[in-house]
Structure 1
């Protein structure tokens, strides 16, 4: 009777080892030949976009309106850093640069409370312009 549990124990220990693949030695690491490091070119920066806050500055300059642009900065929760109007304004200028504009006429910037997804939010709105006589 003592032989049966010992046989079962021996079979269970050897049975699991039959499922594993046999040991294969790992080849040592061979260093790659020395080559010149590849340097990625930095992403091209968009052209700077001038910010106009007064329409009188545009009276003597010919321009074309490319459409409305906006920028935003979100404060997700009460513990997050507060929204920044300068960041929202900068994001608006980046969106205008993506539209190939070289100027933005700022309409308004404001801090909005309890907007969807944000505790507080800074929002700037303006018009993207292509000014030809700068």
Structure 2
């Protein structure tokens, strides 16, 4: 059994990863090394931010537990509101913009394949596939 305390074991360690432009912070609670077949994260999207994301190498499911924002599908142009209780899944490696709303947005995220913990978005919004 794996039990982790985000305040004691994640925040302030190498498992807390900040966006290059400080628009989000990802707290990586389960990683590839844990052998679960997926990774599990808490991500804080900063209010009034905009992030280009295109996970070409990963599928992601996201559940909002607080705050608000929007997600814009760049293929269709559809914009969906995000708020407490909304889940979205990037089941087709969907390229998108993620917008922070009026307050910070707290998201719970699952990645497949799992992240190693060292990933950060490149210039195209992609996490590299690290073995």
Q: Please identify which structure carries the higher helix content.
A: 1
Q: Is TM-score (shorter-chain normalized) higher than 0.5?
A: no
Rg: which structure is higher?
1
Q: What is the TM-score of this pair, normalised by structure 2?
A: 0.18
Q: What is the TM-score of this pair, normalised by structure 1?
A: 0.18
Q: Please identify which structure carries the higher strand content.
A: 2
Taking CA–CA contacts closer than 8 Å with sequence separation of 6 or more, which of the two structures ends up with the larger relative contact order?
Answer: 2
